[in-house]
Chain A
Amino acid sequence: MRNRAILAASLLTVMVTACGSSEQPEVLEQIVVRERGEAAPIVQADPAAPTDLAALGEDAFQMCSGCHAIEAGAPSSAGPNLRGVVGRVAGSLDGYPYSDALTGSEVTWDEASLDLYLADPAGYLPGTDMLAGAVRDEENRAAIIAYLASTSTDDSE
C-alpha cells in the first residue's frame, strides 16, 4: 500500500517536470534595427541634443551599467546603485554588501576622489571588490563623473 502511494507521488513529480510550461505567448513586438551583414544605421546627430559633458557621460556610463544601476530606487546589482553618489560617504548605501575597504575608507565621494578611484580602484582603495571597470581614459572619466554628479543635482531639485 505504501509502495503504491510512493509510485503515485513520484510519477506526478516526474510528469510535472516533464511537461514543464509550454504555454508561450506570441512574439508581441519585433524591432528589426538592421539585417545581419548590413552596416549599422547612421544615427543622425540631433542638433537639439545637449553636448555638455554630463550628456556625454551618460553614454559613457554604458560601460559601468553592467554592474551599476543609476535609476532612482533601482536595486543594486553587482555594484551599488550610483545615483547621487557624489556627496555620499563611501560604503554607505543601505543594503549593499560593501568590502571593508570601502566602509572603512572615510572617503566622501567628490569629483576629485572619484577621479582617483575610477582611474585605479584597487590602487586608491586597496581591498575594494571593484576588480573591473577602471576608466583609464581621462576624458571619459571626466564625463562619467559629470554625469554622476548630475544625478546628485537632479534629486536635490
Chain B
Amino acid sequence: MNDMSPEKKKSGLAKWSRRGFIGAGVLAGGGLLIGIGVRPGNPIGSLASKVAPGAGEQLVNSWVKIDMNNVVTAIVPHCEMGQGAHSVLAQMLADELDAAWDQVQVMQAPADGSYVVSDTARMFAAPFTLNAADWLEPTWDGLFTQLGKSMDLLITGGSSSIRTTGQNQMRIAGAAARQMLVGAAADAWGVPASEIATRDSVLTHEASGNSAPYSEFATAAAEQSMDHTPTLKTRDQYRLMGRSKARTDIPAKVNGTAEFGIDAVPEGLELSYAAVVRPPVPGTNVTAMDASRAEGMPGVLQILNMGNFVAVVADSYWQAQQAVNTVQIDWSQSESPVRTMDDQFAVFAAALDEAGETGGNQAAARGDAPAALAEAATVLEAEYRAPYLAHAPMEPLNCTAHVADGKCAIWTSTQVPLMARSEVASTIGIGADDITIHHPYLGGAFGRRLGSEYVAMAARVAQATGYPVKMIWSREEDTQKALYRCADMSRMRAGLSESGALVAYDSVFTQRHDPAEACVPAIYNIANTSVRVAEAELHLPFQAWRSVDHSQQGFFIESFIDEAAHAAGTDPLEYRLAMVENAPRHKAVLEKLAEISNWRGPNAEGTAKGVAIVESFGTIVAEVIEVDMTSGKPKMTNCWAVCDAGYVMNPDGFRNQIEGGIVFGLTAAMYGELELKDGAIVQSNFHDYKMLRMDEVPNIEVALINSGDVPVGGAGEPGLPPAAPALANAIFAATGRRLRELPIAKQFT
C-alpha cells in the first residue's frame, strides 16, 4: 500500500469506476451528490494526475484524498478570499469522515469543469430547488451539474460555500469516504461493518482488537461501492462542525508565505510587467496615442494601443507604471447622457416619474396596495438614494499571462476561474481546453473578482508581445475604471391605519440585480405590498458588491420602516416585533437583540440607538447601532448584532464574517461614494475613497442563534445590509434628522 506503482493505481481506479458507478445505474445518471469523477465519461483516472500526483497518494473520491502518511486532504472547489471557506469546508468534510483535524489539509480544486459547484449553480439559477424533495435530488443535481458546467459556474459568491457545497457535497463526500473505508476494513478483517468504529482517522474493531489508520485501507476503499446517500451525522454527533476550529489558512498569512494572485512567479518563465490605462469614461476608446516620452524611459519594452486601453510593458512594474503615466491619450466621446451624479439621478427620476404610482415591472405583489394606500389614515412618502461604490480590494487587480504554442496559462485572483477561462478563450481565440487557470488566494474581492475583464486584458497583452506578462492595475485604475455597485433611487410609500399599523407598502426603484427577493420586505406581515422596478440605464458598469441588491435595498427598506414606526409613535424595535409576530425566528432574533443591546433600558449619556433587520442569503441578522452625536458629528460607540443562520459551522469564522460585513457596510455608509465629473469618476485612491479607521469602528458584539432544523444560511454577506440603516436610524433617534441618502459623514461637516 505504501509503495504504489502507477500501474496499480490505474487498475484500482478502473475497478472502482466499474463497480462503483456503472454498476449502480441510478448513480450513472444522477450520482453527482458526491462530486466528480464518479460517473461514466468522466473517469476519475483523468483527474488523478491533477489532484493526486504524489507517489502513494490514493484518490478516495473527488473531494477527498488520503495519503500514505494518513493525511486527509479536502479538495475544495471554492476560492479563499479571506472568508475562511477553505477551512470550514474541510471541517465539514473531515467531521463526516471522522478525520483527525490536525492531519487535515486543504487543496484548491483545479479550474476544471468537473469541479463546478452544482449546488451553487442551483442557488443562483433556481433557489427553490435547494429544498426539493429527496426523490428529486438526483434529477436536480444532474441537471444543475450540466447547467453549471455549461455556464462555467465554478463560482465563489452568494455567501454559498457552506450552505450549498458544504452541506450537500463536502459532507456527503466525507461520509461516503468513511463508509468505503469501513467497508474495506470489514472485508479485510472479516467482521461486520457495523461493528467498526472510526475516530481521528483510525478504524477500530474492538471485539477482534483490530485497529488501523485510514491510510492502510485507502486503496482498498477505492474499490468499495459508493453509497450516494450515506447517512450524515446528527448535530449531537458532530465533533468538528459547530466548533471554532482554527483556520488552516491563517499561519501562512501571518508568516507571509501565503501566495496571492499578485505573488505569481511561474517557474521557468521570465516575466515582463504591464501597466495599463483604461478609458476614464466607460465605453470609450483610444482615438490617438502619443507615447514619445515613454519610449525614452528606462526599462520600457513595448507600448501598445489595445483599442480600449493602453499598455506599457517594461522590465519592472514601476517602470511600466511610470512610463504609462506619460502617454498622452485621446479618448472617443461617450454617448452616455450622464456627466455628473445629478445627471444620473435625473435619469433615475425620469424612469420613476414614468412609472408613477402603479407602473413599472411588478417584482412582488400582495393584497391591493394602491387601494389600501388610498384608504390609509396616514400616508408617508419618501425618496431614497444610494451612490455608486467601488469594491476596493486590498490586492490590486492583476493577472499574469503567458501565451505560446497555441496554449495559454493564467495566474490570477478570481472568484470565477472557469468564466475567466471562457473570457480568455473568446478574447484571444484559443480553445478553453488549452487554457490553464491557476488561482491562488485572493487578497479581497467583495464581488469585484466575479468580473474577468482584467484577465482577458492580460491575455491580450501577453499574446501581442509574446512575453509572459504580469499586468497590475494601479489603485487609481481600480478605483476609477472598474465595475461598481450601482447607484439607485427608490420612492417609497407607506399606508398606516388609525392605530399606526403598516397596512400598505409600495416601492419603486430602477435597479434589480440579485438576489431577486432583496427588494421585497418579505419578513414583515404587511397585508398590501407592491414592489416595482422601473428600469433605468447605469452610466457605470455594474458588478455585484458584497450583499448585492441588499446593500441598497436594506438601507431603503429598513430606513423607511423606521419612518413608519416613528410616524406611528411606536418604538422602532417594538414596531418591527409586531410585524414578525408569526415568524418565530425573526421574533427571537429581535428579542435577543433587545436584550443584549439593553434596548428597553435607558440610553447612555449623550447616545441614541437605531435598529434594523434584514434576512439575506439564508441568514437573519438584526443590528443595533449606538451613536454619540454630542460633537455634532456621528461617533459610533457600540454595535450589537444577532444572527440566526440555522446552524453555525464555525462560530469564530462566522462572527469574523459578520463583523467584516458590518465594518464594510459602515465604511460605505459613512464615506462610500463615487462622484462623476465629465462622466469620469472623481475619487481615485484611499485618500478620497475613505475606509473607516480603527478608532471610528464601534465595539461590535455578535450573538448567534442556532434556531434548529432549517437550511443553513450564509455568513459572508448577511452582516452588511442592516448596518447602514441601523446607523441612519440611530442618527434620527439622536437628532430627529432623517437621512435618505448616503454617505453620511459629509452631511455632518
Contacts and interface: CB of A to CB of B under 8 A. Distances in A.
B305 A28 contact: yes
B300 to A, nearest CB: 5
A156 interface: no
A9 B315 CA distance: 47
A62 B544 CA distance: 37
Interface in A75-92: 75-78
B307 A30 contact: no
A78 B685 contact: yes
A22 B423 contact: yes
A25 B306 contact: yes
B285 A40 contact: no
Given A21-B453, A31-B295, A66-B322, A129 B687 contact: yes
B325 interface: yes
Contacts of B460: 24, 27
Interface string B318-362: 000110011000000000000000000000000000000000000
Contacts of B516: 5-6, 9-10
B307 A25 contact: yes
Interface residues of A, number: 41
B325 A78 contact: no
B514 A10 contact: yes
Given A3-B128, A6-B127, A27-B464, A13 B301 contact: no
B599 interface: no
A25 B285 contact: yes
Interface in A58-72: 62, 65-66
A30 B419 contact: no
B226 interface: no
A14 B513 CA distance: 10
B291 A31 contact: yes
Contacts of A11: 125
A48 interface: no
Contacts of A77: 476, 684-685
Interface in B630-676: none
B537 interface: no
B126 A75 contact: no
A112 interface: no
Interface residues of B, number: 64
Contacts of B684: 75-78
A35 interface: yes
B238 interface: no
Nearest to A79: B687
A30 B304 contact: yes
B474 to A, nearest CB: 8
B305 A27 contact: yes
B476 A24 contact: no
B682 interface: yes
A15 B151 contact: yes
A18 B422 CA distance: 9
Contact of A36 (B127, B270, B426): B270
Contacts of B153: 14, 18
A28 B270 CA distance: 26
Interface string B285-306: 1100101000111111111111
Interface in A1-43: 2-3, 5-7, 9-11, 13-15, 17-18, 20-22, 24-36, 40, 43
B452 interface: yes
A36 B453 CA distance: 27
B307 A24 contact: yes
B307 A78 contact: no
B278 to A, nearest CB: 13
B524 interface: no
Contact of B301 (A7, A27, A36, A76): A36
A77 B289 CA distance: 21
Interface in B260-301: 270, 272, 285-286, 289, 291, 295-301
Contact of A18 (B151, B296, B325): B151
B456 interface: yes
A20 B423 contact: yes
Listed residue (A13, A25, A33, A75) with the most chain B CB atoms within 10 angstroms of its CB: A33
Given A10-B126, A65-B322, A32 B151 contact: no
A33 B296 CA distance: 8
Contacts of B525: none
Contacts of B416: 17
Given A24-B456, A24-B460, A33 B451 contact: no
Contacts of A65: 322, 325-326
Interface of B: 124-128, 151-153, 270, 272, 285-286, 289, 291, 295-308, 315, 321-322, 325-326, 364, 416, 419, 422-423, 426-427, 450-453, 456, 460, 464, 467, 475-476, 512-517, 544, 677, 680, 682, 684-685, 687-688
Given A33-B301, A66-B325, 15 more contacts: A3-B126, A3-B128, A10-B126, A11-B125, A25-B285, A29-B304, A31-B304, A33-B295, A34-B300, A34-B301, A36-B301, A75-B677, A78-B685, A78-B687, A95-B682
Interface of A: 2-3, 5-7, 9-11, 13-15, 17-18, 20-22, 24-36, 40, 43, 62, 65-66, 75-78, 95, 97, 129
3 tightest CB-CB pairs across the interface, nearest first? A25-B307, A29-B305, A22-B426
30 contacts: A3-B128, A9-B512, A10-B124, A10-B127, A10-B514, A10-B515, A13-B124, A13-B513, A14-B125, A17-B416, A17-B450, A18-B151, A18-B153, A22-B423, A22-B456, A24-B460, A27-B304, A29-B305, A30-B464, A33-B303, A34-B301, A36-B467, A65-B325, A66-B322, A75-B677, A77-B684, A78-B476, A78-B687, A97-B687, A129-B687
